Chain A
Amino acid sequence: MHDPIISIQGLNKTYEGGFQALKHVDLSIQRGEIFALLGPNGAGKTTLISLVCGLVNPTNGRITVDGFDNVKQYRQARERIGLVPQELTNEAFETVWNTVSFSRGLFGKPPNPAHIEKVLTSLALWDKRDNRLITLSGGMKRRVLIAKALSHEPRILFLDEPTAGVDVALRRDMWEVVRRLRDDGVTIILTTHYIEEAEEMADRIGVINGGEVVLVEEKTALMKKLGSKQLTLELHTPLSALPARLQVDTLTLSDDGRSLVYTYDGHQEEQGRGVSALLSVLNEEEILVKDVHTRQSSLEDIFVDLVKERS
């Protein structure tokens, strides 16, 4: 966990008018990872990205990008960053080729048609290179914004809701592009409302709500929590206490004694301690079951719980 590529320390942002959009945010992004930032509308995701990219003035706090202060050494900091904004913004009358080449020059890089061609091809925009932006569909415009961000070969890519308004097939393609970038060593920070997108893509997941980062965790650790299932058994006659044989920490009796909740994952089944073992014990103890249902918690549940907890 050393040498983060982006390090954010004690970042606060209060907008003019007094609204505090970020509250003391500390966050480190690791070199080469895909980091997914999740949070409800208005959580502060775009604000956070805008602060790193220099689009918004910080109230206080410090951001370094690859070791460079993003205010004092803005040139070094910014030339490493590509930004794909949330809103579709385009110079309507430019052609795809021109607008992408413009971005490369703007970031101080000498012209390199071969690179632009590679970027456009990877985003399936090569056929559209001479089209004016105004003639493109929404999904294509979003890909043009991605092409612009990649035109100057950034080491860090911010994708603010890259797949909003993009159809399923294209979303898959886009994930593929992101994976390839990661393989090339590009660090990627994306925001999304689609939990499955974070599950599919991210190495780490951060949840932001009400301007506070409420959780940052490895996806695999989160998935472990996710991997668990709950089996609820509605009992025919209430139990006052669990029989001795059933007193294990994976099994709990509800307060009214009417239901048993069994928490398990795939491993217990393999070891013969799973659902069937439980059922046969219940049978032997002559506990009659009225009804059963199972529930699998998802990232979404964790996310919703977290958000609810805080508000």
Chain B
Amino acid sequence: MNLYPVRSIYMAEMARTRRTLLQSIVSPVISTSLYFVVFGAAIGSRISEINGVSYGAFIVPGLIMLMLLTQSVSNASFGIFFPKFSGSIYEILSAPISYLEVVVGYVGAAASKSILLGLIILGTSSFFVPLEIAHPFWMLTFLVLTAVTFSLLGFIIGIWADGFDKLQIVPLLIITPLTFLGGSFYSIDMLPPFWQSVTLANPVVYLVSGFRWSFYGVSDVSLWASVGMITLFLAASLATIGWIFRTGYRLKP
């Protein structure tokens, strides 16, 4: 692997973040803070503790996950969609680089942004609720793996999308509902038994559960189910990207 191309792509993408700092970092932080005010402070005070954790603290991992998933997908999809849209992708495709280098550059940058964002939200939330992190190593592992995996997914969406509408549709119609229904704001124990089993088909449940476990040591599903699910996601995304570059799908006529 040649590091100059990877670094060039990575730095250019990070520079784009700096140019759009408000949109990339500030606005997700503001919207997360609103969640804390509404769910944590206003409504949360009426809700009893869940598994011994106050409701405000309980939703922190879910909220971070929500932001992590949506921001990873939108950052990465926009990052590759834009050059495709403007035509400047010709340069990437004609460069003497492997697809792995392209992916590491783009996805690395998108994931870095999401991780940074996740940490900022974590910091912000500590102003609202008392936080404890039982397993910091696992917390970081989940943070990084989720950011990378969903940035890969975003990358795929960015290549697949042939218009701005499609770029929006997947995050809006799939990621957000799955996250909201994935136990970001509740424990799946709180659902009726039928919906509990339906929910288990939602992959985001495993991510939120594992991430929450790293904070409070309680989870809806076992840690290894969570680790397994995210690994599966990662592998599927990588395989899809490999296929895209081998066939030139939506990149090369």
Contact = CB atoms under 8 A, between A and B. Distances in A.
B5 interface: yes
Contact of B15 (A15, A16, A56, A98): A98
B94 A108 contact: no
A106 to B, nearest CB: 5
Given A79-B96, A105-B8, A57 B253 contact: yes
Contacts of B252: 54-57
Nearest to A78: B96
Given A15-B253, A56-B253, A107 B86 contact: no
A16 B5 contact: no
Nearest to A74: B96
Contacts of A57: 248, 252-253
Given A93-B19, A106-B8, A78 B95 contact: yes
B87 A78 contact: no
A89 B92 CA distance: 13
B7 interface: yes
Contact of A106 (B5, B87, B98): B5
B87 A105 contact: no
Contacts of B181: none
Contacts of A110: 4
A106 B15 contact: no
Interface in B74-129: 83, 86-88, 90-98
A53 interface: yes
A131 interface: no
A81 interface: yes
Contacts of B97: 75, 106, 108
B223 interface: no
- Most chain B C-beta atoms within 10 Å of own C-beta, residue among A77, A79, A107: A107
B86 A83 contact: no
Interface in B1-25: 2, 4-5, 7-9, 12, 15-16, 19
